[in-house]
Each structure stands twice: as structure tokens, then as C-alpha cells.
Amino acid sequence: MSVQPATPGPLTVRTVEIDHPGDLISRLPGPGISWVRRGEGMVAWGEVARLDTAGTYRIDEADAWWRRVTRHAVVRDDVHAPGTGLIAFGSFAFADSSPAGGALIVPRYVLGVHGDTAWLTVISEDGAIDLPGLDGATANATPVAPMPPVTIADGDREAWATAVTSAVGRIGAGELDKVVLARAVPAAAQTPIDARAVLARLADDYPSCWTFAVDGLMGATPELLARVDHGLVTSRVLAGTIRPTGDETADLAHAAALARSSKDREEHEYAVRSVRDVLEAHCGSVNVPEEPSVLHLPNVMHLATDVTGVLSHNASALELIRELHPSAAVCGTPTLTAARVIDELEGLDRARYAGPVGWINAAGDGEWCIGLRSAEVSAADPTRLRLFAGCGIVAASEPDSEWAESEAKLEPMRRALGAS
């Protein structure tokens, strides 16, 4: 019998509207949490309650713990926008066996922006709510430390080629249809890195991505695992990738070629199907566009499909991501076979890379992405990082082209660290 994680005493929550704070990431007073896209979203700091979990049932345990936390909370929310009121941020390991496990964190302060509305949420575990205003909440702010020199390894190209070739052989033998292989590239900074400096660069370079930082994992991910908002659920599937040239005319032709590529379309269709099958079990209706679009980012272009549905029952965001993860976009098809092949060929612990990262509110609504285009900061040594990138391998994959794709996917973090 598993031991139930401890639940904090009743939380008291107050959300008030404030003047627009300007750039959200620049208002973080120190190390904290980020969830920002196109200038909107939330940053948070302090910690009122926390769940650390691990193993096969880590997301189920988080969902059950969150339900207990919210059941007795006293919430006064004057704003009623996505992300107001009682909220927790979380991230979870890719693999069930990973010691990285998962965490759900209730912060002390949350600063948010949605459209023209801005708010400050204060959360207390002792029943006392002091509304200090934004200036008071950030009174102990520390200056952002300048980015130190960072050395990033090149990676083992020979080992990558061996893994890709082996995966293609297994696919050709009929063992599986697709597998996603990842690389972890170590990096070292001369002094501890201030995540705020990295996040600011990511947000500037990739405004259409979710610039996130939760419990040691930070990045700018383009892939939405699940957004739940008053019964509507959305998942953005990305699979199939090409690198842009910077020439607008040439890139339009490359985008058209990507949309026609049988290799990339096959990879994309596996990922879409894995998401659709989960949502159909929870939704009265699911909409899947007949053709994917092409998502243009500064470093890559992806085939993209937004799958939407209307929930037929009261499913929380955590319940949905538990079933959606891992999708074929980050694991493969069939899922269990692909996970086993990853264990055998990758030679690394992904930790929370490619796992769910996001937030949930007291109603169970929330927004969760896949932790891609990311780096893990070592908890033991904040000068050490691991950068990650992964590629979907299908029968037509070639080691050199997959290496080039992984290099393109490493570019956001390399650039944010000042190393490219």
C-alpha cells in the first residue's frame, strides 16, 4: 500500500486586479517559476506547499493531492481569468522509472497577465493574507546576474548514428513503427546561471512558444500537450521537422515540401492518432483537421495539428495529461514497445525532458506542454546543465539528417546561454 502524501492545512487565497506590470519575466524578484507566451501568462515565486512524487503513479498521486488541497481552500478571486485564484505549477519525468519523479508546487505569489487584465495572487498557509501590492511582493528583489561564459559539449555523433541505425533496423523488421530518440548535451558555466537571464532571451527569440521554468527545468516549448478550459480541451501535435534557411522564398518552398514529405507525414500521423485516441475516450466530440499546417519558428519548421474536443465528463487537466503522456510525438508507436527501445538505445535518463510541464487551477483547468527545447539545471551544482533534443525515427530516417534536426532543436537553449 502506498503512503498518501501529506496535505497542507487549508490554504487562503486572494487575487486582485493590478495595473499592467510590463514584461512579466523582468518582474521576477529572484529564482522562480515562469509560464509566459506572447507576453501573457504568469510568473510566480515563493513556496507555500509542495508535492514530490515518483514512479508509475506520479501524476495520479499529484491529481489526488491537488484535489485534497483545493477541497478546503478559501479563495477570493476578483479577476476570474485563466490562472487566477488557487494555482499550482508542476513538471513530471518522462519515464516511470526516472528518479527525477515529479513535483507540484503552490507558490506564495503569482503575477499574471491575460489580455488587458493583470493580477496578483497571494497564497497563505496560515489564514493570514497580506496584500502588499506588486512593489511590496517584490521588495526583496535581487538584480539579474549577468550571463557567465558557458561551455557546451558537441555531443557524440558516432553514438547517435549507431542508435538511429539500430532504430531504423528494428522498424524495418516490424518491431515498431516509430521511436523518438533523444540526445543530452552537457554544459558548464563559470558561475551559477540566473534563470531569469535565460528566460528573457528565450521569450524574446521565441514569443510564440511557452517560455517556462518549473523546478529546475527551463526552456521554450512549442508543443501543447493539453489545455483544459471550462470543458474545452486542446492539444497541439508537432511532428515532422525541417530547418529553415533564412531565405523567405526558399523557406516557403521548404514548408511546402515538408507538408508533402511522406516520411514527415507518416511521423506526424502517428502522433496525431495517439492524441486523438485518448481524447475520444473523454470527449463527446473531437475535431482533427484533415491536413496539418506548418508552424514556422526561427530555428525549425514543424508539421502541426491542433486537436480539439468537448469533454463529456469532469476530467481534470492532470487526468488528461496522465493518459496523453507519452504521446507518439515524444515516445513512438506502439508506445510500450517504443519506450522499451528508448531504454535500450538512448543510454540516458531524460529526467523531466519531454515530460509534462504546466499549471492547474482549483477547478482542474490548466495548461500543460511537453518540456521540449529545454535544459535541466543540476540541483547539486547550479553551474552544470544538460541540454536536450529529440527526433522521431521512422523507416526512412537517416542518421545525418536526424543529427542536423537535433542540432536545430538545441539552438534555442544554446543561443539563450550565449553559446551560439
- Are 51 and 5 contacting, i.e. CB atoms less than 8 angstroms apart? yes
Active site residue 280: no
Per DSSP, helices labelled H in 183-334 are 195-205, 248-260, 262-280, 317-324
Long-range pairs of 247-252 with CB within 8 A, sequence gap ≥ 24: 251/296, 251/301
3-state SS assignment for residue 164:
helix
Set 61, 178, 376, 409: catalytic member: 178
Compute CA 238 distance to the chain's CA centroid, rounded to the nearest angstrom.
13
Half-sphere exposure of residue 104: CA atoms within 13 angstroms, side-chain side: 29
Set 61, 223, 269, 402: catalytic member: 223
Active site residue 178: yes
Q: What is the DSSP letter of 149?
A: P
> Alpha-carbon distance 83 to 103, whole Å?
18
Phi, psi of 356 (to 5 degrees): -70, 140
Instruction: State the greatest distance between any 2 C-alpha atoms of the chain, in Å, as a whole number.
Output: 64
Strand (E) or helix (H) holding 416: helix 399-416
Q: How far is CA 331 from CA 9, 226, 288, 334, in A?
A: 38, 17, 21, 9
What's the CA dihedral at 178, 184, 185, 189 to 10 degrees? 150
> Alpha-carbon distance 299 to 371, whole Å?
17
3-state SS assignment for residue 292:
coil
Phi, psi of 198 (to 5 degrees): -65, -45
How are beta strands 12-18 and 74-77 bridged, if at all? parallel
Q: Provide the annotated active-site residues.
A: 178, 223
